[in-house]
Amino acid sequence: MITATYDQLNDFLREVIFTKGNAFRPAYVELDEAAIHQVAEFLNCEKKDVRLQIAGYVSQKIQKKGSEHDPFLWIFESLMFWRGNASKEYSNFPELPLLLVLTFAAVDMGGEGGHDPNAYYPRLHEMLKISTQNSIADSYRSCSELLWNSLNHWLDTIH
């Protein structure tokens, strides 16, 4: 059961992943065991369900803000709003749950799951449980450069 909002999860993930102790070190959008434990407590779920829970938040956001033909359509609006307000109160990078889910799907490549070892998009589709698999690859490709460049911008200038 999802009790926090996407934005609350995003803020919590920022605190857990990008700690002051990790300042000026290489940054990775991933969860280590300690972070998984913290996120499980925050989401009130088992550690084994953390990935599924985070994917549920992203899936809900896609259902609310995306379209059938462009599931990640909302990314442009979210990131443009954030960049326009980065020096103001909305300075936290807004899409950490999405970046984590994208990373989860990449980490799962080469593993099991009934997919070709290099099949990224089927894994992402399966994780997000959205209705249209065909549009997910094109939608991601259209926003991926802005998404990852925005994270780099935040890491370089804001954080």
The pLDDT value given to residue 130? 76
Query: Is residue 26 assigned to a domain?
Result: yes
> What is the mean pLDDT for each group of 10 consecutive residues in the chain (159 residues)?
84 88 75 95 96 94 86 88 69 89 84 63 84 78 91 78
Q: Considering the entire predicted model, what is its pTM? A: 0.86
The pLDDT value given to residue 137? 86
Helix, strand, or coil here: 124? Answer: helix
The pLDDT value given to residue 157? 74
d(C-alpha 82, C-alpha 27), whole Å: 20
How many domains in the chain?
1
The pLDDT value given to residue 89? 52
Question: Domain range holding 69?
Answer: 6-158
Query: Is residue 59 assigned to a domain?
Result: yes
Query: Is residue 1 assigned to a domain?
Result: no
Q: Do residues 88 and 104 lie in contact, with contact meaning Cβ atoms separated by under 8 Å?
A: no
The pLDDT value given to residue 154? 85
The pLDDT value given to residue 126? 85
